[in-house]
Amino acid sequence: MDTAHITYLGGLRTRAVHLRSGQELVTDAPVDNKGRGEAFSPTDLLCVSLATCILTTMAIGGEARGIQLSGTTARVVKHMAADPRRVARIEVHLELDGAGLDAHQRTVLERIAHTCPVALSLAPEVVQEVTFTYR
């Protein structure tokens, strides 16, 4: 079964439609690669995919252990390399409520973050720097 249908709109822009939900997503080439930078670029989405996968799998694992992660946030920083142009490093900075979490629970959540499906799917050459701040 198809996941999405993508249409090239011209001007280095695409529209992707998630078939199950009908949700739409527009991409635009970044300014440093001949685009307008008016929407997520494909490489932005790669980095955002890592962060959202981390949050989702941590929430699944947390719920199974009675840990609530509502309000957890992630900040993403993308680092590009040239020749060939590619994502070289992704920083994901997580901030979560650490009140009531013991060292073991934090370790479990951090292990889950580092083993989410997107993290495991990225080439080993893509450096993944994930930091955790407990407030």
User: What mean pLDDT do residues 93-117 have?
Assistant: 95
CATH number of 42-134: 3.30.300.20
Say what the alpha-carbon torsion angle 72, 77, 78, 79 is, to the nearest 10 degrees: -140
What is the average pLDDT value for the chain, to the nearest integer? 97
Confidence of residue 126 (pLDDT cuts 50, 70, 90): very high
What is the C-alpha separation between 44 and 48, in angstroms, rounded? 6
Joined tokens for residue 20: 């199950």
With beta carbons less than 8 A apart as the criterion, state whether 109 and 67 touch: yes
Enter the pTM of the model.
0.95
pLDDT at 130: 98
DSSP category for residue 68: -
Q: What percent of the chain has pLDDT over 70?
A: 100
What would the DSSP string read from start to end of 69-94? Answer: -TT-EEEEEEEEETTTTEEEEEEEEE
List C-alpha distances in Å: 39 to 47, 77, 92, 115: 14, 16, 20, 28
- Write the pLDDT tens digit of every residue in 26-81: 999 999 999 999 999 999 999 999 999 999 999 999 999 999 999 999 999 999 99
